[in-house]
Structure 1
Amino acid sequence: MQADPQENQVRTTVDIARIIDMIPHRYPFLMVDKLIDMVRGESAIGIKNVTINEPFFQGHFPNRPVMPGVLIVEAMAQTAAVLVVETLGVRAEGKIVYFMIVENARFRKPVIPGDQLRLHVAKERHRGNVWKFRGVAKVDEVVVAEATFAAMIMDEEPQP
């Protein structure tokens, strides 16, 4: 029996409870609240609701809070990690996705408390256990950051 090529085209949503089951990140470093419009093996949109309660705003910057650009890239990477785990399904059990490379990162506009980041990630290629993505972060349909990045899925090391 052949796989249905339309199966991956089904758009799905991943809520925070499933995200927590899929990736190891936790507060204060969990940077994605949910995924929408996910097409397994292809693309997804992560949602990050940015609030003044984020711990990084205490020092970046106290009188003019701006989300650090590296954390926007991290949010894109976490969105991609959920996409990889969802795509692999049971093959991802006992595995962890590690960030490997960031290229061509550009930060176009500050992200501030009250913004909702929409983290568009799309697979550029996948070979073996390495996945490469293009990410674009938007607020109100305006591009605020973009980057290409790669990640590797590996066996999770047992806890001592």
Structure 2
Amino acid sequence: MLDFEAIQAILPHRAPFLLIDRALEVNPGQSAKALRAVSGNEWFFHGHFPSKAVMPGVLIIEALAQTGALAILQGPDQGGIALLAGINKARFHTPVRPGDTLTLSVELTKRRGPIGMGQALAVNQKEEKVASCELIFAVDQENKNN
């Protein structure tokens, strides 16, 4: 399990773009599971949508990508940056609203050099599927995360 400070030691993201609060599991090079507590005070709810707050789907995908990056950036890729290189088969199943807690899971399925793929799933506290997709990533080792 990784707390917020430990996540910041691995990922280069910072507020307001660090979208995971805690990692429940990290299996280096294989998988990761993280949590995101969605507050009504989130910056994106001010405009999406003022009368009916819904977390933008692209931010759910970004939270999933950050979760996958926790697994990628352990071991040999430590210190690198995991870049999102593609998204396949993205589906949004249930809206995410203020007060929801997301469980974000990514299983890395393929790797060839710096390029890889993972299956991603987000569920809410009711175990309802929120979003799913296939993520493609590229690891940049030249610009170490300092």
Q: Kindly, what percent of the aligned residue pairs are identical?
A: 37
CA distance in structure 2 between the partners assigned to 1:156 and 1:20 by the alignment: 19
Match of 2:111 in 1: 126
Map 1:15-34 to 2 at 5 A: 15-34=3-22
Match of 1:53 in 2: 41
Deviations 1:31-71 (A, max 9, x none): 11111122222211110000011100000001110000010
CA distance in structure 2 between the partners assigned to 1:149 and 1:48 by the alignment: 19
* TM-score, normalised relative to structure 1: 0.85
Match of 2:129 in 1: 143
CA distance in structure 2 between the partners assigned to 1:92 and 1:43 by the alignment: 15
Compare relative contact order (CA 8 Å, sep 6+) and give the higher one, 1 or 2: 2
**Gapped runs of 5+ residues in structure 2?**
none
Task: Give the aligned residue type for 2:58.
Answer: V
Task: Give the aligned residue type for 1:52.
Answer: G
Match of 2:138 in 1: 152
Rg larger for: 1
Offset, 1:156 = 4.3
- Change in Cα spacing, 1:157 to 1:38, as seen in structure 2 (3 Å) is closer
- Change in Cα spacing, 1:38 to 1:92, as seen in structure 2 (3 Å) is closer
Match of 2:54 in 1: 66
**TM-align CA RMSD:** 1.3
Task: Give the aligned residue type for 2:26.
Answer: M
1:75 to 63, 71, 75: 63
Deviations 1:46-104 (A, max 9, x none): 10000011100000001110000010000000000111112x25x422x2111100010
2:88 to 99, 103, 108: 103
Match of 1:14 in 2: 2
Offset, 1:129 = 1.0
**Gapped runs of 5+ residues in structure 1?**
1-12
- Contact 2:28 2:73 (8 Å CA) reproduced: no
1:84 to 50, 63, 72: 72
